[in-house]
Structure 1
Amino acid sequence: MISDLFSTTVIIGIISSGIRLATPYLYASLGETFSQRSGVLNLGVEGQMLMGAFAAFYVALKFGSLWGGVLAAILVGAVFGLAMAFVSNNLHAAQGISGIGFYLFGLGMSNLLFQKMIGTVETVQGFPKIYIPFLSDIPGIGEIFFSHNILVYIAFFLVPVAWFVLNKTTLGLKIRAVGENPDAADSLGVSVIRVRYFTVIFGGVMSALGGASLSIALLNVFQQNMTSGLGFIAVALVYFGGWRPWGILGGALLFSMVNSLQLWIQVLGIPIPSEIALMMPYILTILVLVVSTSKVRGPSALSKPFERGD
């Protein structure tokens, strides 16, 4: 019954699982924020997440090391980010088209590697929950905020870190300058290409960590195309949040809560067609893009290749 959604137990469950489900959104969106703030649009986030998810799961499955899996995801994400940076900065390829190409490559490669190296659906023992002393014992509040695995805590911790780096450091000033006016930044001695390489590689690492958080911390399994559009929602969240980490946090929680809600609707057997419940996050994505793109202004040099002397 619909009334079951308003019970204390279900509300706590929706919010708690919503916080966990926000983890991959946060990793991928924060990384994409750095990339876009420097002027590079990376639509290959989904492919990077899939490759990171597979790398982390494979290492955890074969070698029994969760942190080894995280390291593998970081390395894979860095390689993909480096490739994307080279294509966008050195080859001056259209960033939207090349990003889609990287997405398709990551989708196909992760499927191929899964079929050849694993072959069947298997599970791993993912990161366990870490209960914060005393705080996790608070009724309701403890379960919602202080009973999650380490990758969840890291994801939320990175939000203020990202805000501080972008707004209070020299590096952040360079990133914002390159994204707004690369010619002016170049005239002041800032290496536009170097900054963009850094942000795109960092974005690749963060996207891969988002994938790893799915495969070895949330679901503890790898399946073909397991992200199911999550990477594209992460890109949409950058627009929704106005290229600001705190705004992205709000957007990630909104999307994850909607996703959590549709999962609980199915668990409780509420008479709403499952197809409609599954569509809820994607319908919200469309609405967010329609509203946010008309009200916020992105970096002026976003998706524009830079060449000295232009």
Structure 2
Amino acid sequence: MPRSTTRRSSPCTHGPSCPACGTATRTSKAAVRAPSTTSGWCKNIIKVCASGGVLSVIDDPLHQEFTVRELRTIVEVAGLAERSVAAHCHGKPGIMTALEAGVLTIEHGSYLDDEACTAMREAGAILVPTLTIIRELLDGGGLPPYAARKLADIARVHRDNIARAHQAGVRIAMGTDIQSSGDAPAAWGRHGREVVLLNDIGMNPLDVIEAATANDPATLGRQAPRSGLLHEGFDADILVVDGDPLSDISLLADPSKITAVWQAGTLVKGRRGCVTPAPVAVCAPLSHPESVRRPTYSLHYR
């Protein structure tokens, strides 16, 4: 493909108008200026596509999208504004290049192997697996043939490689890639499924809760300096759960078991003084979409 200042890629998983994924820059200068055109996105994080995607028409998840020089420039300039860089990445070449460039998070990580896991751990990078989107798209079906083929290829390795990363000690934060509403696959209201899927790959319930609470604000880097703890003066949203998620993590995927929700200190579900007297876990709303960074999470017991 001839090099140009920018090129318009095919629709990403977030839709054809997605400013975060819809334009892939092809020079370092253009790359670092792209966030200024995203109309309110990227306020807390800069996201790049370091590999091809699944629903995109013309690229391949295994293919690397940027050179290390381009990515390093993006990371450098983002750092001037105290922003970290998240890299959408399936294939190993893109993963290794993104890590060399200094990105903070790898989103998806479908083709992680032992070498890539070691590189992530040594770099202190965070993995956001997005297991939910893979399962939702597989269960829903109806994808065009080019996307169905790529999804099937990824589905064969993604789950095992996320388990590999966990076993290798890679830090995991929870995200789902949920991006729609209504009854369609991958719609809001189904994102609690991620806690069960993380548990299924070998993470114990406390690890899963930590991934969704203490680890998620860390994906924001310096944009979330007072987060990750339930502590006076920190930002935190809180869930009250009817039951013990350490015994049954699926409670966090069942809205009927969420008896109260505080968002930024304001009660948005439940009534004051009506919390069940039985022991309950208190933690933050779980699993924001991979493409929209998470606010603040914490864990506490009553």
Q: TM-score, normalised by structure 2?
A: 0.24
Structure number having the greater strand percentage: 2
Q: TM-score, normalised by structure 1?
A: 0.23
Structure number having the greater helix percentage: 1
Larger RCO: Structure 1 or Structure 2 (Cα < 8 Å, ≥ 6 residues apart)?
Answer: 1
